[in-house]
A and B are shown apart, each in its own frame.
Chain A
């Protein structure tokens, strides 16, 4: 019991109850009991809400008690439980309830309260981790004032003199052809730009500028590639130029609109050249293909114009009329030319269609002709040969004809022989080919099968290796946990004690069984003896009765026998009765002890008091309600 009490008290303490002064369950007060139960229930049931302090009013107390009892029942507590268990109960019931609750506590609750030092450590680690994360996420630019400088291969920090100035960097390049770039050029930080300006540190700023310009170029290229339309067929350079000129033209246009230039036209085109031309007062075209000198010449002339204002004003109208007439003439000429050309085109098209139509038949004729040529050639050739053979006299012709026949016959015979030989070879070879193909196919099938098996085996291997890894990891983890947990030796002592108790119980069981068997033995003997006695008595009874009928002196003997039997019978009965009453007495004594432990009388008294109080409170409340 002490052990149980100690466990209960320690777990309640871990959960947060004020159990410092308490050493055993007998020191528990009702308030403590309630606080303990509430804490246990909050740990077990996630949404359990109850105040840990018992309210003053009895009704509320009853309600709280009932709530706790219901929760315990919902968790699966078997046994009588109600509000009375918490308010008026005795040690035994409290013990049972606490044991049940502590058994139902989830393991996390244990751990959370477990090693106080470990939790502090974990908290600290977490705090450190958070701080580090925060610091990493902030972009900390190194203070510009403190830039590193390498001198004598040592890094020193110097203050810079103010503005960032960048220099073009010479990066060492191991892929380049020049020996200097490949080998001789020292790393960036060791390149002394200006020995006299040790305090001027251009490296950081220059590096930053170089890298950011590269990045910008890369982004720009990507953007241009994204927006590059294939029908323009521009490369990045021209596209860039375009975009740049567009932007420039827009900017200038906005500027012009803002300043309201007087000599401008109302509709401003978007083209940069137009905008720039509009800047010039006399509307002269942009420099374009002219050389600088010609442009400056024009500029000069435009400047001298205002010096002679009168003369150009009078002659201004005439050149305009002339130009108009010229333009009209040009127009007429051009339209005439256009008409002529369109006529030409129409006629040419007609011709084209006509020619197209005649292509077909001419092509056919061509093909026919070619065919005929080929045939004729063949004919000519064969006839030539024949003529050659038949050239000479009649006999020679006949001879030649005979010779030709011979040749043809021999050729035929040879063809036949060759074809026979070839046939044999051919059949053999084809059989070989097909046989080999068969074997190839079968071996392919086998190969496929085996590769499949191999794959399967490999996969199995992989799976096993993965399982192995997982198991290793869990092993390491569990070992760590075991080492972490193995600090308190109480568990082993508990287990040892449990084993001792078990051994004791086993011994006791054996002894009980022994006793029981002895008792059964005794009972058997008693029964046997009783039986014996009964049989002997009946025999004796008979015999003596028979004898007594004949002989009167034996009647006394008979009477004595009967009285002897009956008195001994009484004795045995009384002995049995005394035994049973003694047993009854023992039972009753046990019951008395149990009831004493339940403290029913004290609880009854307090319940009576509470009942009276409750009645009073009810009356008061009724009065209040009636008063309202």
Chain B
């Protein structure tokens, strides 16, 4: 499986020291530090429980998935209290990697040795399948459809949570804005950030999602290099970092804030009203499944884009480039034309 990059083991001992103790093939020191910082044993809640035993996020060009559990085997080591397996890979599929990590964890607990884990990992690599210890089952990579990862978290609750303001989220995703999400709970954060790109399904780009970022220079510099992203933070002081976002979403309080410098991109027009109406309809309709809702929104978006393309048709019938003049000819309102021009730029339909 060419998507797998590396696997590693993080241990926490009786002195509360968390270390990266084993990796295959290799991992950079900076990535190791990042993983140690993000792993569940490092982030304990007030009652000394894991915030979330399974954490995934995106950074340094890799998706990393971590599964932690308590460990109490004196044969292996008298000092280790928690272990956490992490996998680095290039693709986004939390459910697949969750199953893989579970299986690897089981083999480790069974055999008390990392060698068997390595064997299983290599078999994954070569045979694209994994024998699950303790059962006769076999985990097959091919049974995991990448597209299912996109729709694993439902969109309707998101729209219902923010109501009519979810049009701002739609606008942000469509116009490729920088979105910063804050939540006090990690689970909600991970779920929310991976759902947002569904609003711009026609691009099918989940590499802009950074579900779990800390306000640390190391991570922020690589984040800032991205032109647009959906980044999730557990630290509420990120709201003060206006330089990091064009729109700020607070899941805990269900509020959306837009800073001054980005207000021009969020001026809503008639098209927005239509889409907002559609979104509310679709979300409130209990008869429709989530997939259907997503499809309808996607259809509408595609319609809008094809309309835009058709605004400028060259002599041979193919759609040409959009420019301000063409929009002025159609006598759209100022906000409408601004929006359409921005959309066109984002879709690559404009020319200087």
Question: Which of chain A's residues has its CB closest to B341's CB?
Answer: A357
How many pairs of residues, A versus B, come closer than 8 Å at their CB atoms?
Answer: 62
Tell me, yes or no, whether B278 is within 8 Å of chain A by CB.
no
The answer on a CB contact under 8 Å between A423 and B352 is no
Q: Is A170 an interface residue (CB 8 A)?
A: no
Contacts A431-B79, A434-B79; A360 near B346 (Cβ below 8 A): yes
Residues of A within 8 A of B21 (CB): 426, 430
Residue in A361, A412, A420, A438 whose CB lies within 8 Å of B115: A420
What total of chain B residues lie within 8 Å of the partner, measured CB to CB?
30
In the complex the two chains form, what is the Cα distance from A437 to B22 in whole Å? Answer: 19
* CB <8 Å contact, A423 and B113: yes
Q: Which of B133-151 contact A (CB under 8 A)?
A: none
Question: Within the complex, which residue of B13, B17, B79, B114 is in contact with A423, where a contact is CB–CB below 8 Å?
Answer: B114
Determine whether B176 belongs to the interface, using a CB cutoff of 8 Å to chain A: yes
Are A358 and B352 also in contact (CB < 8 A) when A412-B122, A416-B118, A427-B76 are?
A: yes
Contact of B311 with A by CB under 8 A = no
A412 to B126, CA, bound (A): 10
- Assess the A354–B352 pair: CB atoms within 8 A: yes
Asked if B77 and A431 make an inter-chain contact with CB atoms under 8 angstroms apart, the answer reads: yes
Contact with B along A424-453 (1 / 0, CB 8 A): 001100110010011001000000000000
Q: Interface digits, A180-219 against B, CB 8 Å rule (1 contact, 0 not)?
A: 0000000000000000000000000000000000000000
B317 interface hit (Cβ, 8 Å): no
Known contacts A426-B21, A437-B15, A441-B15, A361 near B345 by CB under 8 Å: yes
Chain B, 60-80, contact with A by CB distance < 8 Å: what is the 0/1 string? 000000000000000011110
Give the chain A neighbours of B79 by CB distance below 8 A. Answer: 430-431, 434
User: At the interface, yes or no: A316 with Cβ under 8 Å from chain B?
Assistant: no
Judge if A364 is at the interface, Cβ distance under 8 Å: yes
Contact with A along B85-121 (1 / 0, CB 8 A): 0000000000000000000000000000111001100
- Contacts A430-B77, A434-B13 given: A360-B176 contact, CB under 8 Å? yes
Contact yes or no, A415 B118, CB < 8 A = yes
A355 interface hit (Cβ, 8 Å):
yes
Q: Is the CB of A423 within 8 A of B176?
A: no
Q: Which residues of A have CB within 8 Å of B76? A: 427
Cβ of A419 < 8 Å from any Cβ of B?
yes
In whole angstroms, what is the CA distance A408 to B123 when docked?
Answer: 12
Complex interface: chain A residues within 8 A of B342 (CB): 357
A434 and B77 contacting across the interface, CB-CB below 8 Å: yes
Q: How far is B21's CA from A427's CA once the two chains are assembled, in angstroms?
A: 9
A225 within 8 A of B: no
Are A358 and B350 in contact, with the CB atoms below 8 A?
Answer: yes
Determine if B115 and A419 form an interchain contact, defined as CB atoms under 8 angstroms apart.
yes
Q: Restricting to A388-438, which residues have a CB under 8 Å from any CB of B? A: 408, 412, 415-416, 419-420, 423, 426-427, 430-431, 434, 437-438
Determine whether A294 belongs to the interface, using a CB cutoff of 8 Å to chain B: no
Task: State whether the Cβ of A363 lies closer than 8 Å to any Cβ in chain B.
Answer: yes
Question: Would A416 and B115 be within 8 Å (CB), given that A354-B352, A431-B78 are in contact?
Answer: yes
Q: Which chain A residue has the least Cβ–Cβ distance from B24?
A: A419
A369 CB, min distance to chain B CBs, angstroms: 13
**Pairs of residues from A and B, 4 with the lowest C-beta to C-beta distance, nearest first:** A434-B79, A420-B115, A357-B345, A360-B227
Residues of B within 8 A of A (CB): 11, 13-15, 17, 21-22, 24, 76-79, 113-115, 118-119, 122, 126, 176, 227-228, 341-342, 345-348, 350, 352
Please name 16 further chain A to chain B contacts, defined as beta carbons within 8 Å, in addition to the given A358-B352, A360-B228, A434-B78, sorted by A numbering: A355-B352, A357-B341, A357-B342, A357-B350, A360-B176, A361-B347, A363-B227, A365-B348, A412-B122, A416-B118, A426-B21, A434-B13, A434-B79, A437-B15, A438-B15, A441-B15
25 A-B contact pairs sorted by A residue (CB < 8 Å): A357-B341, A357-B350, A358-B345, A358-B350, A358-B352, A360-B345, A360-B346, A361-B176, A361-B347, A408-B126, A412-B122, A416-B115, A416-B118, A416-B119, A419-B115, A420-B115, A423-B115, A426-B21, A427-B77, A430-B21, A430-B79, A431-B79, A434-B13, A434-B15, A441-B15
